[in-house]
Amino acid sequence: MKNSAGHIMNKRCMAAIAYGIGGALFAAIAVLPAPARAVTQQQIDWCINKGSRFDLDLQINGCTASIQSGRWSGRALAWAYTDRCIAYKDEGEYDRAIVDCNQALDLDPRDAFAWNARGAAYHLEHDYDRAISEYSRAIQVDPKFAEAFHNRGMVYAAKGDLDTAIADYSHAIALDPDDAVAYNGRGNAYKDKKDYDRAIADYSNAIRSAPKNTYYFNRGITYRLQHQYDRAIADFNEAIRLDPKDASSYNSRGNVYRDEKDLDHALADYNAAIRLNPDSALYHNNRGYAYEDEKDYDTAVADFSEAVRLEPDNASYRNSRCWARAVSGRDLQEALADCTQSLKLRPDDANTFNSRGLVQLKLGAFAQAIADYGAALANNPQDADSLYGRGLAKLKTGDTAGGNADIAAAKAIRPDIAKTFADYGLGEPPG
């Protein structure tokens, strides 16, 4: 899921507004006579950075020149510290940003933009409680500060308090009906609550206000969750058109094509995602699934192995490799080691117990297979795959009644389960 929370604030959208704090200071900057110490209008413009026209280093240099010029003092100087705080925050130098915002607030405790910017720095450092406190102070100073509301909403969402996040996003939207960041954030919260219709409505409003790659991506993800695959593909197409180097959109479109069993297009998209980001374990894992669907298990295992190399402590990727080896019937001891390691990293995972059950079944370790399938069923009693596998293992141990009961229960859930196991190279014994 993408979230424009990565920006926290709309980059420099606040810059031109901030100067109202000092009593028409923005206008005064443009017309004051030459300063007592050398600061040029160009340096002032760099610091203001209206419309994000200048890079962050120029902005910082311009703010530093403005601060050192002696032209402003007291509350009238707070704007320059606030703008440099924002620039340091955008550059990822959060400690320096906090120091500058501290200075701005010492000069002017009613600088709502400084409270907001310091909140953003804490937010990006994942110090969520401090961030909420700072955003709340910004709102206390300026109750109509929509950006502070949507920023605070992002933090509540990050903490998992989705209802409070939605309330903050809604307040931001009431103050600014064109606040695309708030619509996107509220859409994410609704999506996390599985309220997909409301999520799509909010993403659509975000797109109406600002047709960005992120908003199309998020709506595409939600359409996929609703199995509206054509609409999902259309949104990912647009996300890619807006940002052709967005690997995540290629990967997500590949997932939709795989859902539709269009493996050629899925593999093409996973290949594109990997070309753009070869160090993504997720993309290699997803491509491995597509090769597995094609029954090209050797290539699938190669992709899963690359995912494990990139993220050796990821339990899911180890289970993926275990399963591919189990289904193919090759390297079963290595498969067993993968599943065992995966369960150490993620105990009690039903899917991994199911995978290891299949490995044990193919190794002829029937008691262990029964135990692993049983552990999977403890978490998911309706898992037809585990019921059928346990049934086969029970039959192999001479428990005819128990085996037949498990197999019958599996077929009641999935009538084609016997064919699935035949594809694994396993079938019910004759008679």
Considering the chain, what is the average pLDDT of its residues? Answer: 92
Percent of the chain at pLDDT > 90 equals 90
The residue with tokens 């100087």 is 77
- CA neighbor of 120 nearest in space, from 143, 144, 146, 154: 154
SS3 349: coil
Q: What is the pLDDT of residues 373-420, one digit of tens each?
A: 999 999 999 999 999 999 999 999 999 999 999 999 999 999 999 999
pLDDT for res 428: 77
- Count CB atoms within 10 A of the CB of residue 199: 26
Say what the pLDDT of residue 37 is.
Answer: 63
pLDDT at residue 29 above 50?
A: no
* Residue of 363, 340, 334 lying closest to 352 (CA atoms): 340
pLDDT computed for residue 424 by the predictor: 93
Predicted confidence (pLDDT) per residue in 165-190, tens digit: 999 999 999 999 999 999 999 999 99
Spatial neighbors of 74 by CB under 8 A, at least 6 apart, are 107
User: Is residue 32 pLDDT above 90, yes or no?
Assistant: no
Q: Residue 31 — very low, low, confident or very high, per pLDDT cuts 50/70/90? A: very low
pLDDT recorded at residue 1: 55
State the number of CA atoms in the 13 A half-sphere of 369 facing the CB: 24
pLDDT tens digits for range 62-81: 999 999 999 999 999 999 99
What CA–CA distance (Å, rounded) separates 352 from 364? 18
For 104-152, the pLDDT digits (tens) are 999 999 999 999 999 999 999 999 999 999 999 999 999 999 999 999 9
Measure CA of the first residue to CA of the last residue in the chain; give whole Å. 51
What is the predicted pLDDT for the residue at 431? 56
Where do the domains of the chain lie, and which CATH numbers do they carry? 1-142 (1.25.40.10)
pTM of the model: 0.86
Question: Which residues, including other chains, have CB under 8 Å from residue 194's CB and lie 6 or more apart?
Answer: none
Across the range 342-369, mean pLDDT stands at: 97
In the prediction, which pLDDT does 38 show? Answer: 82
Q: Which long-range contacts (CB under 8 A, 24 or more apart) does 249-256 make?
A: 249/213, 249/217, 249/220, 250/276, 251/280, 251/282, 251/283, 251/286, 252/217, 252/220, 252/221, 252/224, 253/220, 254/286, 254/287, 254/290, 255/224, 255/286, 256/220, 256/224, 256/229, 256/232
Q: Which two tokens stand for residue 13?
A: 């959208």
Q: In the prediction, which pLDDT does 19 show?
A: 30
**Closest alpha carbon to 391 in 365, 412, 379, 373:** 373
> Residue 26 has which token pair?
């923005």
